[in-house]
Homo-oligomer: A and B are copies of this chain.
């Protein structure tokens, strides 16, 4: 049985071991703060599993796993400035706790620290790892830029949206896995299948995220159900509704965006989405990406037993209710 908590604890211990200078405090305190406010550590765990899939012990890919986690935290600290987000995992964001300049610069240093960790690798594998890491990092920036661009555009298509979430969040999951497999010297085709598995699970996960925002059980969800509706976010639910709506229904959708009675706004939006079969359409899309992911995993040329942890992690990610 796959023990997620055991892997999370392993990563937590490695994070605690990272040595950072005391000074300048405004540069390194935010680094320590953000890295230590928790999370499931899914990305670095993917790197461990990507190595184990090809028979390499997780202890051999700690640098690459930490690299992925530190890179992810770099994106969080800069994205939170751009989104003016006050909270991250129920704690103050870096720019709120310190200030914006501290958040910019400590984010920069995190990105460099991610490269430092990545370099804890046999020199013969360094080029290959860097090629992947650089491309991934650039794609993540492109995804974030597209996400910001979409805020002021009113003609975003579903395909564009999927491409945005692929870049912004999913390539990093694929790359996290592939980095582990690079260190394990996996065959190139297996590496690519592993990347595709991670990327497609990532897209499915993100679609599910959008669905849960409106359709989660309020008892279990832990935050406001319908948050995306309130903030008029162009989620895949919204874009699917737009694409399937009549001119009249699109007019109603537009009016609802201006609605100030939040309860009414969420209730009416949901009714409209239900008329348009939005939830099912999105769920089908999500399932298609999930299935694609599993097909890629199937194709990887290792013993089926070796894939068990990845299958269970994927199930854990896709069967969540919150």
Chain A residues close to B by CB (< 8 Å): 21, 24, 26-27, 78, 81-82, 101, 104-105, 107-109, 111-113, 115-116, 119, 123-124, 126-127, 130-131, 134, 137-138, 141-142, 144-146, 148-149
| 8 closest Cβ pairs, A-B complex | A24-B145, A27-B145, A82-B101, A109-B141, A112-B137, A123-B127, A116-B134, A112-B138
How many subunits of this chain does the assembly comprise?
2
Are A146 and B104 closer than 8 Å at their CB atoms? no
Contacts of A141 in B (CB 8 A): 27, 105, 108-109, 112
Contacts A104-B104, A123-B124, A130-B119; A142 near B24 (Cβ below 8 A): yes
CB nearest neighbor in B for A146: B24
Contacts of A112 in B (CB 8 A): 111, 134, 137-138, 141
Tell me the dominant secondary structure on chain A's binding face.
Answer: helix
Distance in angstroms between the alpha carbons of A123 and B125 in the assembled complex: 9
Contacts of A104 in B (CB 8 A): 78, 81-82, 104
CB nearest neighbor in B for A164: B24
Distance in angstroms between the alpha carbons of A26 and B116 in the assembled complex: 28
